[in-house]
Amino acid sequence: MSSLRELHSELDEALNINTDDSVLDYRYYTQLINNSREVALRNELNRNRTIDDKILSSYCESLEEVSPATCCNITLPTTCTLIRTKTQLPELIELHHTDGLVNILPAKITLPKITVVTMDRVPYLGFNRVTKNLIYAFRLDGYLYIYSSNKKFNLLENIYIRGLFADPTELANYKDCQTGSSCFDLDGEYPISRWMWESIVKPYVLQQLANKLGIPLDEENNAKDEKKAIPKEGK
């Protein structure tokens, strides 16, 4: 799939806009793309479609130890160790059957995998011979909490969070655990499938931009010569 910068260029080209500058700020383009993508993904995935890797994003988050009393809505042993993300999770696209959080992976691949559960299951998690080494994660008040009796649990410092984020550009605020590079940039792949961009998101965004600019939109691309080039004024 294309980068966000390339999607911006596709829109400019379809509207026959000069490529030096834009009358409209590209942040407005991005807002329209994000909003249309969110609606399209929710409509598609609520039909129990398979989640394509192309529409997912991931980022690295640091963890910190907190008191079990932080989770005042649930009962946890006061002697247990509880860790959580240092910042609240970016907004996820919630579906009928999932909250948009797909999986969580330790930054160190030698550590056990993390099982995501709903908060209401936490008080009933048994740590018997089979489950004692499992590491559980749950969401509460925008944060991600992690809980386990596994001794390796205390070695967790960073995790990768993978999901359906409403605004993928927010991940630019996070750095990759291994490389230190940004988890999103304008020249990296934007998380949308080509068919969804061409058939749903792009037509919608083009119509909104055409309305904003006050120009007719030739949906069949047969009247390109009739459009006037839009002079650009700088962002």
Measuring CA to CA, which residue among 118, 162, 144, 158 is closest to residue 66?
Answer: 144
Distance CA 122, CA 214 (A): 54
Residue type, 92: L
Position 21 pLDDT exceeds 60: no
Residue 186, both tokens: 């304008």
Residue 85, both tokens: 């993300």
Position 224 pLDDT exceeds 70: no
Kindly tell me the burial class for residue 114, based on how many C-beta atoms sit within 10 Å of its own C-beta (0-12, 13-18, 19 or more).
Answer: buried
The residues with which 137 forms a beta bridge, in sequence order, are: 116, 146
Distance CA 71, CA 127 (A): 19
pLDDT tens per residue across span 165-211: 999 999 999 998 888 899 999 999 999 999 999 999 999 999 999 99
Query: In the chain, where are the structural domains located?
Result: 4-52+191-226, 57-173
Q: Residues with Cβ < 8 Å from 233, sequence gap 6 or more?
A: 21, 23
Q: Exposed e or buried b for every residue in 132-150, given b needs 16+ CB within 10 A?
A: eebbbbbbeeebbbbbbeb
pLDDT tens per residue across span 36-66: 999 999 999 999 888 889 999 999 999 998 8
pLDDT tens per residue across span 113-140: 898 988 777 777 766 676 777 888 999 8
Distance CA 88, CA 216 (A): 42
Cβ atoms within 10 A of the Cβ of 104, count?
21
Residue 183, both tokens: 């988890």
Strands (E), the chain: 57-66, 82-85, 101-106, 114-116, 135-140, 143-148, 158-163
pLDDT tens per residue across span 75-125: 655 556 789 999 999 999 989 888 899 999 998 888 888 989 887 777 777
